[in-house]
Structure 1
Amino acid sequence: MPTQVVQAQSSTNAFTDFIRFWKDVAAIALPYWYPTKPGERAFSDVIRAWGMLLLLILLIIALVSANTFNSFIHRYLIDVIIQEKDYSKFTYTISFYAVGLVLITLLVGFSKWIRKQIAVDWYKWLNNKILNQYFNNRAYYKVNFKADIDNPDQRLSQEIEPITSNALSFSTTFLEKILEMTTFLIIVWSISQQVAVALLAYTIIGNLIAIYLNQELIKINQAELESKADYSYSLTHVRNHAESIAFFQGEKQELNIIERRFSNFIKNTKNKINWERSQDIFNRGYRAAIEFFTLLVLGPLFIRGEIDFGQIGQATTACYFFAGALEELIREFGTSGRFSSYVERLSEFSEALEAVTKQPENVSIIKTIENNHFAFENVTLQTPNYEQVIVEDLSLAVQPGEGLLIVGPSGRGKSSLLRAIAGLWNAGTGRLVRPSLEEVLFLPQRPYIILGTLREQLLYPNTNRQMSDAELKEVLQQVNLQNLLSRVDGFDTEVPWENILSLGEQQRLAFARLIVTHPSFTILDEATSALDLKNEGHLYQQLQETKTTFISVGHRESLFNYHQWVLELSQDSSWQLVTVQDYRTQKAQEIVTNSPEKAQITIDDSPKNESQIQQEIAAEIGTIEGLSHKEIQILTNYSLSTVRSKASKGQSITTKDGLTYYYNKDPKVLKWVRV
């Protein structure tokens, strides 16, 4: 009983896979050959494709006809040579035979050329179709969150072209070889019915074996494709993260990862080779058996005088062509296993792209309104899977020309708010008011460096903008990149900029784009994290001079100097919006209140200005947050002896996070305190 269940399931799965395969093929082929949606393909393109396909079919029919005709000429030529021994007939007949060979040669060349032309046109259309899906509604970004879609770059670059070329190759070979086998089977039937019946039986058996081998090869090809993609990606990963690997001295670990993936690829390749060996042995043995059986049957007939030598020659040739056609047809069945794998992976990829661009049903999303200002109206933002609330019931507006700084603990969703503004995340409730994204320039922590020239780097994303070299030089001067031109041949030089420019230079290059673009609204996500305070201040001052409205995410205390408002996100999804001045005062009071040593603050009735009050608060904080020489040494790039030397000389020190400390020599303090 269990055996019956397993067999039934296997049969059902095989049938289901077969139906699924042809549905995938239809999804790929029908829009090209029989478009049903308006605007899917131009009518002239469809007519041209069908015209080329019809021409290919006619060439194949002509090729098979020429081969058949030449087999009769060859039979007659043998009779003339062996039996009649007539030289005039020989020259006349062989001239026809030569013309037939030339015609066959031309037909083979043109049929393959037409087939490849059709495959290229189909590939071009299919590639553009998938690329449009990939870039539509930011599917290229969203599909990265689907764990079952691996290596989208390889699926695009290496797995689309084989679909069209293999489909045309299999279809034309199938048509050509079926016509050849049918024609030559008729010829053999006219000479020996016994041989013809044997050939027919061989055909049925051969195809059944080919189908079995093909099913196994489909699985093997699928595994080989995936392992090859994983190996290729591991090499790309090293190239993209070469500097980080070098810093960590991780060459040995990376090599182990690559070798492990390569070994898996080799294992699958060897498995495929073993199956192909069995298939090649079967193909050659099958063909040899046909030739042997033909001579075994026809030899005695010729000896008894029942057929002439020309007939045995024609029958042998026909059987030879029949066996060759059958062998090639079986080989194409094996190749179709790889074709099936490509079809399955492309269909899976296309369905995933379509799925991620569809808005989920029965879920709440943040409504986006395009207007000439920024505002959050009762916005509750959640992660795309709706499992975590990032911020709850957020309401604020950023006035034109103002700056908003978003702060909070790491991982609390500061960058997620920027994703919401960009429309990447919209899970939640409320309304988001923002300008059109064409009016917004985003400056991430690691700027996007395009594959292009220095001119295109500066003009991105509007690379069609016209600017003279003198204007671009002035922009580089404004962001302190004036020395960049001395390292390349000019603005039209294309080099691997991501490897040449440091992160700090890349961030300054991003600010250069800002100066070139003059956006009305700017979003900055840790956009100056790799810059020193002087460069940061210089760039933010230029940002303020452009009168742009900007929202920043950052941790540096120095950023408070360039913003009017602070949005603080808390661990419990709550938030507060205050002015920069109130936020500084609030944090200072929290530090004083939470200090283990309550400081005695003397109340001075004399009027003080705001600067004096802030200085007193800063001094109080500095005394409480005193650091030792060793702690300062850890926070800087200085040695311990240098830290002590600066303390004795009364010199200040700026730490890596942008904070400035001086050494308080009061015997009750004797610590580094923040200025």
Structure 2
Amino acid sequence: MSTQVSFLQPIWNASSALKKFWDNVGAIAGPYWYPTDSKDRAFSDIIRAWAMLFLLVLLIILLVGVTAFNSFVSRYLVDVIIGEKDFSKFVNTLLVYGAALVVVTLLVGFSKFVRKQIALDWYQWLNNHILEKYLSNRAYYKINFQSNVDNPDQRLSQEIEPIARNALSFSATYLEKVLEMITFLIILWSISQFIAVVLVIYTIVGNLIAIYLAQELNKINQEELEHEADYTYSLTHVRNHAESIAFFQGENQEANIIRRRFNNIIKSTKRKINWERSQDIFNRAYQAAIQIFPFIALGPLHIRGEIDFGEVGQASLACNLFANAMAELIREFATSGRFSSYVDRLAELSNALETVTKQPENVSTIKAVEENHLAFVNVTLQTPNYEQTIVEDLSVSVQPGEGLLIVGPSGRGKSSLLRAIAGLWNAGTGRLVRPPLEDILFLPQRPYIILGTLREQLLYPQTNRQMNDVEIKEVLQQVNLQNLLSRVDNFDTEVPWENILSLGEQQRLAFARLLVTRPSFTILDEATSALDLKNEGNLYQQLQENKTTFISVGHRESLFNYHQWVLELSQDSSWQLVTIEDYRLQKAKEFAINSPENTETKIDISPNKESPSQSEIASISGLSHKEMQALTNSPINTVRSKASLGKSITTKDGVTYRYNKDPKVLKWVKV
């Protein structure tokens, strides 16, 4: 019983793989040839596609018919030359034979043209169809969380066109060669039934061997395709991170990674060459046996006078054409492995795109409500896989024109809250109130620089808006980027801006984009981290002057000057919302308590006072000499010397302090 199971297992596996393959083909081809939704394709386009396909089938049938007709003309021509020796019949037959060859030539050319045109139309539609899936409902973003879908960019750019081309090539070749084999088998049957039967048996055996050889080639083609995608991605990775690699001097490590992935391609190619060698030997031997067999079988009959020479020639021609048709089919089956790989990978991508855009069932999600303000109402935010809770029961409201600063330890979900506002993450519970997304502009730490001109950079994402050169110059002046024009001929020159501009210039360009679009709400994720304090202050002041409501994520103390509220996230998913003044008081008190020189820090906060005065804030915010030494990495003697001389000191984070010599203070206070 176990022997029977082990014998049937390969057949079962092959059957399952074949069923999966045809299911994938149906999923890819169905929307083009059999659209179930009227929105997928226009009816006129469907009629045109089927008309072109019908024309291709008709041309193939005519081609096979004229080729079969020519075999009879060739047989008659041989009889005229050898038997009748009639010159006038010879000329007439030769003209018919030549005309038939011209028709065959034209039919071959037109059938290939129609086939390629159908493949081009299908490729164009299929590319747009998958691309629409990729860019809709932010599937291009969500697909990154699918670990089993690798290199979606390569699947889109390099693996769609071969599907349409190979599908039409295989289908047309299969139809043409099967018709040829049937036609010439009938011709052989009319000449010798014995030859026809032997040829059928020989064909079945040959096909079984060819399928066995093709199966292993299919696996090798799949591996080769994956290795090529990995190799291409490694090169793209180096290009995208060229500066970081240069800083680290990581060329040797990157070269090892690239070589390792390239060696995988070489290994797969060598295996493929070895199997193709066996396949080529088999194909040639298969054709040679068919070509010589008619002479072995019919030669003695002609010598005995039982058949004429024309029948021998026609049988030989029919066997040759049969062998060529079979060889073409075997070659198509051999190359179908790569086609199968393309189909599997594209179907996997298409299914993944549909999956990531579907709302999971039986899971809780944050409800988004569109209103003209920003608020979290009892929001518990989780990671998309629901494995980690970022913040619990958050209730925060940002009033129009206010600024909210989000702070907290690294990795505690500050940027995740921004993703929730953008609708990228919605795992959790509660209600999120936000304006329409088109009224919000997001500025990440590394700005998105598009492939386009400087004018398009500023107008993005509203590229349909018009903006003259004078307006552009004024905006660039506002963000201190007036020198950009010296790098290009005009505002419509397209250059690789991401490589030309520093990170600080890119962040200022993002702010210029903000001044152009003038959104009512702005989200800034450490959007000024690469700017000096002067440029940062200039940009935030313009936000305040425009009455923009903004939420910032950042660690710089200088950001406190431009926001009214602080939302602090803690390691245990808890949070607190306080005013900037209260947050400064809290941190100063914590700093004073934890300071080794806390005897120098005098904190006098009366519990009955609701809001301390500016002098009290300065007093509480004071730092000792050792604390200032730690913040500046300066020698303690230098700190004391500057204190006695009344000179100011700027810390590493850009904050300036001066020593207050008042006997009641005697601390470094912020200027």
Q: In the alignment, which residue of structure 1 is the partner of 2:149?
A: 149
CA distance in 2, matches of 1:5, 1:118: 44
Of residues 626, 629, 640, the one that matches 1:627 is: 629
Q: Is 1:582 aligned to residue 582 of structure 2?
A: yes
C-alpha separation between the residues in 1 aligned to 2:580 and 2:631? 31
Matching residue's letter, 1:409: P
Q: Deviations over 1:610-645 (max 9, x none)?
A: 333333233x32445132699349xxxxxx999999
2:461 pairs with 1:458? no
Which residue of 2 is the match for residue 318 of structure 1? 318
Amino acid at match of 1:442: F
Aligned equivalents of 2:252 and 2:147: distance in 1?
Answer: 27
Separation (CA, whole Å) in 2 of partners of 1:613 and 1:429: 41
**Is 1:444 aligned to residue 444 of structure 2?**
yes
Secondary structure, counterpart of 1:442 in structure 2: strand
Q: Give the aligned partner of residue 620 of structure 2.
A: 617
CA 622–504 in structure 1, closer or farther in 2 if over 3 Å, else same: farther
Q: Given the superposition, is the C-alpha separation of residues 493 and 12 from structure 1 closer, same or farther in structure 2, using an over 3 Å criterion?
A: same
1:95 aligned onto 2:98: no
The residue that corresponds to 1:657 in the other structure is: 653
Is the aligned partner of 1:486 residue 2:486? Answer: yes
* Letter aligned with residue 581 of structure 2: Q
Matched with 1:197 is 197
1: distance between equivalents of 2:509 and 2:436? 24
1:116-155 aligned at under 5 Å gives the runs 116-155=116-155
2:51 match: secondary structure? helix
Mapped partners of 1:479, 1:596: distance in 2: 43
Instruction: Confirm or deny: 8 A CA contact 1:378 1:395 kept in the other structure.
Output: yes
Structure 1 counterpart of 2:633, which letter? E
1:176 aligns with 2:171: no
How far is 1:438 from its partner? 0.6
User: Per the alignment, do residues 209 and 652 of structure 1 end up closer, same or farther by CA in structure 2, a change over 3 Å counting?
Assistant: farther
1:452-510 C-alpha deviation (Å, 9 max, x unpaired): 11111110000110010111111111111100010011111111111111100100000
Q: Say if 2:68 is the partner of 1:68.
A: yes
- Contact 2:597-2:624 at 8 Å conserved across structures: no
CA gap 1:45/1:628 in 2 versus in 1, 3 angstroms: closer
**2:83 matched residue in structure 1:** 83
Aligned 1:300-315 pairs, distance under 5 A: 300-315=300-315
Q: CA deviation at 1:115?
A: 0.6
Deviations 1:385-424 (A, max 9, x none): 1111111111111000110000111111100000000001
1:177 match: secondary structure: helix
| Cα separation, 2, equivalents of 1:650 and 1:263 | 67
- Counterpart amino acid of 2:341? S
CA contact (8 A) 1:71 1:318 kept: yes
2:420 corresponds in structure 1 to 420
Specify whether residues 609 and 368 from structure 1 end up closer, same or farther in structure 2 by C-alpha distance, changes over 3 A only. closer
Shift of 1:427: 0.7
Distance 1:609 1:164, change over 3 A: closer
Q: Deviations over 1:56-106 (max 9, x none)?
A: 000000000111111111122222223333332222221111111111111
- Verify the 8 A CA contact 2:440 2:520 in the aligned structure 1: yes
More deviation in 29-38 or 369-378?
A: 29-38
Structure 1 counterpart of 2:655, which letter?
L
The equivalent of 1:20 in structure 2 is 20
Q: Which shows bigger deviation, 365-374 or 607-616?
A: 607-616
Q: How does 1:35-434 map to 2 (within 5 A)?
A: 35-434=35-434
Please state if 1:542 is matched with 2:542: yes
How far off its partner does 1:289 sit? Answer: 0.7
Shift of 1:540: 0.7
Q: Report if the CA contact (8 A) 2:180-2:325 is conserved.
A: yes
CA distance in 2, matches of 1:602, 1:369: 45
State how far apart, in whole Å, the 2-side matches of 1:520 and 1:376 are: 18
- In structure 2, the residue matched to 1:637 is none
Q: 2-side partners of 1:465 and 1:474: how far apart?
A: 17
Shift of 1:664: 10
Query: What code does the residue aligned with 1:548 have?
Result: T
What are the within-5 Å matches in structure 2 for residues 529-608 of structure 1?
529-599=529-599, 601=602
- Could you tell me how far apart the structure 2 residues matched to 1:663 and 1:294 are? 110
Separation in structure 1 between the aligned mates of residue 638 and residue 191 of structure 2, nearest angstrom: 104
Alpha-carbon distance, 1:348 to partner: 1.1
The one-letter code matched in structure 2 to 1:137 is: N
Aligned mates of 1:671, 1:662 — CA distance in 2 = 8
Distance verdict in 2 for CA 1:74–1:537, change over 3 Å = same
Moved more, 343-352 or 478-487: 343-352
Structure 2 counterpart SS, 1:381: strand
Q: Distance in 2 between matches of 1:262 and 1:604?
A: 68
Is the Cα contact below 8 Å between 2:60 and 2:111 reproduced in 1? yes
Partner of 1:636: none
Say which SS state the counterpart of residue 626 (structure 1) adopts.
helix
Q: Is the 8 A contact 1:629 1:644 kept in 2?
A: no
**How far apart, CA to CA, are the structure 1 residues paired with 2:330 and 2:668?**
82
Q: Structure 1 counterpart of 2:617, which letter?
A: Q
* Structure 1 residue 442: Cα displacement: 0.2
Distance 2:546 2:77 in 1: 91
Q: Give secondary structure in 2 for the equivalent of 1:281.
A: helix
Q: Which SS does the other structure have where 1:494 is aligned?
A: coil
Pair 1:473–1:127, CA change in 2 (3 A): same
Q: Answer with 26-35 or 171-180: which moved more.
A: 26-35
Q: Give the counterpart letter for 2:16 in structure 1.
A: T
The CA deviation string for residues 127-166 of structure 1, in whole angstroms up to 9 with x for no partner, is 1111111112111111101111100001111111111111
In 2, Cα distance between equivalents of 1:644 and 1:313: 112
Q: Deviations over 1:366-401 (max 9, x none)?
A: 110010000000011111111111111111110001
TM superposition shift of 1:207: 1.6
1:672 and 1:151 mapped to 2: Cα distance? 55
| Cα offsets for 1:252-283 (capped at 9, x unmatched) | 00000000000001111211121111111111
Q: Which runs of 5 or more structure 2 residues have no equivalent in the other structure?
A: none
SS of 1:27's equivalent in the other structure is helix
CA RMSD of aligned residues (A): 2.7
Q: How far did 1:602 drift?
A: 8.7
Higher mean alpha-carbon deviation, 516-525 vs 82-91, is at 82-91
> Corresponding residue for 1:504?
504
Q: Secondary structure at the match of 1:361?
A: coil
Deviation for aligned residue 1:595? 2.3
TM-score, length of structure 2 as denominator length: 0.94
1:596: how far off?
3.1
After superposition, the C-alpha distances for 1:179-204 in whole angstroms (9 at most, x for unaligned) are 11111111122222222222111211
SS at 1:396 equivalent: strand
Once residues 9 and 406 of structure 2 are traced to their aligned partners in structure 1, the CA distance between those partners, rounded to angstroms, is 58
Asked if the contact 1:627–1:673 (Cα under 8 Å) also holds between the matched residues in 2, the reply is no
State the distance in 1 between where 2:443 and 2:174 align: 56
Offset at 1:604?
Answer: 12
What is the CA–CA distance in structure 1 between the aligned matches of 2:111 and 2:314, rounded to whole Å? 26
Q: What are the ranges of 5 or more consecutive residues in structure 1 without an aligned counterpart?
A: 634-639
- SS of 1:94's equivalent? helix
Contact 1:404 1:550 in 2 (8 A): yes
Measure, in 2, the Cα distance between the counterparts of 1:190 and 1:552.
87
- Report the alpha carbon displacement of residue 38 of structure 1 after superposing the two structures with TM: 3.3
* Distance change (3 Å), C-alpha of 1:203 and 1:443: same
Cα distance between partner residues in 1 of 2:604 and 2:70: 116
